[in-house]
């Protein structure tokens, strides 16, 4: 299978790509064929100032001269959607669940900084109930030189892991490394509690461009097997990090402020419903930088977060 790169010199169109990703028929994943060699890049990218203000206002994030650690994921979302929409990608958007994320921020990115965003489709792993696959995103300083041939320093890197339920046969377990795990905290203490409003799905979609129907409508969410409409997990995660002051705590551990590299791990273990109460818990003596978020009366965490220094 030949390699395909989608190249953009301005923000890619998200609406058309999402429509294709949602509606176009797909061949389905075949272990013998694997995943296509697919990548995308956005050269000279900058954060939209108005969207950034909306993001911070919606999630209650204090304004700063640097991008929130999860915001490059929002910027890269249009690349991911265009890759999901590409004819060579074998899985429909609604057949894949966003499962895990690992972000390593090597240094904060200034709000107006010009960067290059590169994304590629990584490996896959066969697991007990289906298959995991990865999207790998790197944000670098903008390329330099007369022909922009010299890649800038790495600023931010993310591995986003998705899950597809099904039986894909036996044999090789896949082409990617095993993804990380986070064990739930024992007898964690309540740190913060807040309400996820019923209109959060539409508010976050207007910022991120992710208009997946499961975030927009109770009926649509039920049609795809959920009890009701669910919040964008990545938005709730960003809100939890802010409320826990997690990045400041991680930087304090290094003794070098925010200029030190920070690693953020998140596992989405269950849906976080709109119009619901969420509780953020921690147990610093067991695991500094570890937080579990619960939705409603669920006895098990819906979201597990770890903020550490990368190894």
pLDDT digits (tens, 9 = 90+) for 36-65: 999 999 999 999 999 999 999 999 999 999
Range of the domain at 84: 1-180
The answer on 285 and 260 residing in a single domain is yes
pLDDT at 19: 83
- In sequence order, which residues have a C-beta less than 8 Å from that of residue 152 and are 6 or more positions away? 115, 116, 140, 141, 142, 143, 144
Phi and psi at residue 286, in whole multiples of 5°? -85, -45
pLDDT at 257: 47
pLDDT digits (tens, 9 = 90+) for 112-137: 999 999 999 998 988 888 889 999 99
- Give percent of the chain above pLDDT 90: 62
pLDDT at 255: 46
The answer on 153 and 42 residing in a single domain is yes
The answer on 233 and 284 residing in a single domain is yes
Q: How many angstroms separate the CA atoms of 66 and 269, rounded? A: 29
Domain count, the chain: 2
The answer on 128 and 43 residing in a single domain is yes
Give the strands of the sheet with 97-105, arranged side by side.
Answer: 4-8, 38-45, 115-127, 130-141, 154-165, 97-105, 262-268, 303-308, 290-295, 276-282, 189-196
pLDDT at 146: 58
Mean pLDDT of 7-15: 89
Q: Which of 147, 180, 213 is the last residue of a domain?
A: 180
pLDDT at 129: 83
Mean pLDDT of 228-247: 94
pLDDT at 177: 66
Phi and psi at residue 220, in whole multiples of 5°? -65, -40
Q: How many angstroms separate the CA atoms of 291 and 279, rounded? A: 10
The answer on 196 and 176 residing in a single domain is no
The secondary structure of residue 118, as a DSSP letter, is: E
pLDDT at 256: 47
Mean pLDDT of 20-27: 82
The answer on 176 and 253 residing in a single domain is no
pLDDT at 258: 47
pLDDT at 32: 82
Q: Which of 129, 146, 180 is the last residue of a domain?
A: 180
Mean pLDDT of 234-247: 94
Mean pLDDT of 141-164: 85
Q: Does residue 75 carry a pLDDT above 90?
A: yes
CATH code of 293's domain:
3.10.129.10
Residue with tokens 């921020």: 105
pLDDT at 176: 59
pLDDT at 174: 61
Q: How many angstroms separate the CA atoms of 43 and 8, rounded? A: 6
pLDDT digits (tens, 9 = 90+) for 266-310: 999 999 999 999 999 999 888 889 999 999 999 999 999 999 988
State the greatest distance between any 2 C-alpha atoms of the chain, in Å, as a whole number.
58
More confident residue, 297 or 169: 297
The answer on 222 and 158 residing in a single domain is no
Q: Which of 165, 180, 195 is the last residue of a domain?
A: 180
pLDDT at 77: 93
């Amino acid at each position: 299978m030949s390699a395909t790169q989608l190249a953009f010199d301005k923000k890619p169109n998200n609406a058309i790509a999402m429509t294709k990703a949602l509606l176009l028929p797909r061949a389905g994943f075949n272990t013998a064929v694997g995943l296509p060699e697919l990548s995308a890049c956005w050269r000279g990218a900058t954060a939209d100032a108005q969207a950034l203000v909306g993001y911070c206002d919606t999630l209650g994030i204090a304004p700063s001269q640097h991008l929130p650690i999860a915001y490059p994921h929002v910027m890269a979302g249009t690349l991911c959607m265009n890759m999901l929409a590409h004819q060579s990608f074998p899985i429909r958007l609604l057949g894949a669940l966003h499962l895990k994320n690992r972000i390593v921020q090597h240094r904060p990115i200034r709000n107006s900084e010009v960067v290059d965003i590169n994304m590629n489709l990584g490996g896959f792993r066969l697991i007990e109930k289906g298959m995991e696959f990865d999207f790998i995103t790197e944000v670098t300083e903008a390329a330099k030189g007369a022909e922009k041939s010299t890649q800038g320093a790495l600023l931010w890197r993310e591995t986003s892991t998705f899950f597809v339920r099904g039986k894909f046969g036996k044999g090789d377990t896949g082409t990617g490394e095993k993804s990380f795990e986070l064990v739930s905290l024992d007898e964690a203490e309540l740190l913060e509690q807040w309400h996820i409003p019923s209109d959060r799905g539409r508010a976050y979609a207007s910022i991120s461009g992710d208009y997946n129907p499961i975030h927009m409508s109770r009926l649509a969410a039920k049609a795809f097997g959920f009890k009701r409409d669910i919040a964008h997990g990545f938005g709730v995660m960003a809100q939890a990090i802010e409320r826990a002051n997690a990045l400041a705590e991680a930087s304090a551990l290094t003794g070098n402020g925010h200029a030190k590299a920070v690693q953020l791990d998140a596992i989405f273990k269950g849906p976080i419903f709109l119009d619901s109460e969420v509780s953020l818990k921690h147990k610093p003596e067991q695991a500094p930088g570890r937080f579990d978020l619960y939705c409603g009366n669920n006895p098990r965490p819906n979201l597990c977060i770890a903020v550490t220094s990368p190894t």
